Structure 1
Amino acid sequence: MLYPYATFPERLIITYSDVKNDGSVHVNFEQPTDYGFKEARYTLPTQKKLFSDGYTPKEEQNLERILNNNQELIMEMAKETGEKVAESN
């Protein structure tokens, strides 16, 4: 499941996953285009790109900068989200 993190004025939507068994969190970037969506997914804490479809190399650099600047908060939010889900079960 993906949870909302942020939406930017240029319609860039950032979501994050639950903490995976290996301790990683997937971060998804999505942005509407005239023909559908651009999408990229990275994993934290390694910041490894899992895939990118539609983004230019320059745009990917911007996504990676956003990811780097928000890594701590996203990881913290994913852990808290997981704890809340576990409590509700």
Structure 2
Amino acid sequence: MIYPYITLADGTEIVYTNVFEEDGQQKVEVHFERPTENGFDTARCQLPSYKWIIRDGFTDEEMKIFDQFMHSNAHLFYKYGANGGMKIA
């Protein structure tokens, strides 16, 4: 499953997967997508390694901000990903 997390002011939408196990380790993937005239800018990060497995269209400066964002929010992606997404009343 993929769950919505937040949409930034520039239209970048951040979504995350449920927690899944791979190679004996619990993981979550976080996707960043921003609409453009020709499609989407896309980046995907896998936790807990913080490895960027996809990057297309975002600048180096944006990626630094996303990396900081990932480190600040990783615990929430795991928490919500394990519980079927955020529960919004």
Q: TM-score, normalised by structure 2?
A: 0.84
Gaps of 5+ in 2: none
Aligned residue among 36, 50, 53 for 2:53: 50
Once superposed, which parts of structure 1, at least 4 consecutive aligned residues long, lie more than 3 Å away? none
Gaps of 5+ in 1: 83-89
> Could you say which structure has the higher helix fraction?
1
> Could you say which structure has the higher strand fraction?
2
Could you say which residue in structure 2 is the equivalent of 1:86?
none
Matches within 5 A, 1:7-86: 7-22=7-22, 23-81=26-84
Q: TM-score, normalised by structure 1?
A: 0.84
Paired amino acid for 1:65? Q
Structure ranking higher on relative contact order (CA contacts 8 Å, 6+ apart): 2
CA RMSD for the aligned pairs? 1.3
Matched positions, count? 82
